[in-house]
Amino acid sequence: MSSPRLIVGLGNPGSDYADNRHNVGFWFTDQLARRLQAPLLPQGKFLGRVARVGELWLLQPMTYMNLSGQAVAALARFYKIADHETLVVHDDLDLPPGSIRLKQGGGNGGHNGLKDIQARLGTADFWRLRLGIGHPGERAEVVNYVLKAPRREEQELLDGAIDRCLLAWPLLAAGDYAAAQRQLHLKTV
C-alpha cells in the first residue's frame, strides 16, 4: 500500500461557514497542518489553500463544497497523484457524531463534495476519512443541519474524533491503512 500524497479536507470557505458541521474536513486539515508545521496558504492555480511537506500535499478547496472536485483534480493532475494516493476527509451524516470510518472507494452517500470529486477524477477509488456528524432525522432538514454549528456536546465528540485521527496520522502517513482502520474504528462513542 502506498502512502498518501494528497490529503483533502472538505468544507466551505469564509467566516460564515467556519463553524458549520460541513467544515469538519477543514478542521482536520487545519489541525494536521499545524502538527506538520506547514501553513495552508492560498494557491490560485489549485483553487484552494495548500500546504506541502515533502511529497505530501494538504488541500482545502476554496470552490465551495459542491465544486470541490475542481481543486482536487487540478492539484492531483498537475502533480500526477494517483487516486489511491488521495485521502478525502469529510463530514458524514450516516455516522453519529464522533464516529470515524476509513475506507477506499464506494459511493458518495449523497455528499455533493464527494460527487463532484468523483465526477472530476472519473473514479471513486480514492480513500475517504469519514467523520460522523449525525443526522437531523428528516431529509428536508439536512442542508440546514450541515450548515449550522454543532451543539456543544457534539462539538466535543467531533474534536475528540479529530484528535483520534491525528493520533492515527503516523499509520496513515506510512500507508498502513489496515492498522489505521483498526485504531480508528474502535467504538469510542
Catalytic residues, which ones?
22
Residue 86 C-alpha from the chain's centroid: 10
Q: Report residue 33 as a C-alpha cell.
A: 497542518
- What's the chain look like in SS3? CCCCCEEEECCCCCCCCCCCHHHHHHHHHHHHHHHHCCCCEEEHHHCEEEEEECCEEEEEECCCHHHHHHHHHHHHHHCCCCHHHEEEEEEECCCCCCCEEEEECCCCCCCHHHHHHHHHHCCCCCEEEEEECCCCCCHHHHHHHHCCCCCHHHHHHHHHHHHHHHHCHHHHHCCCHHHHHHHHCCCCC
Residues in the chain, how many? 189
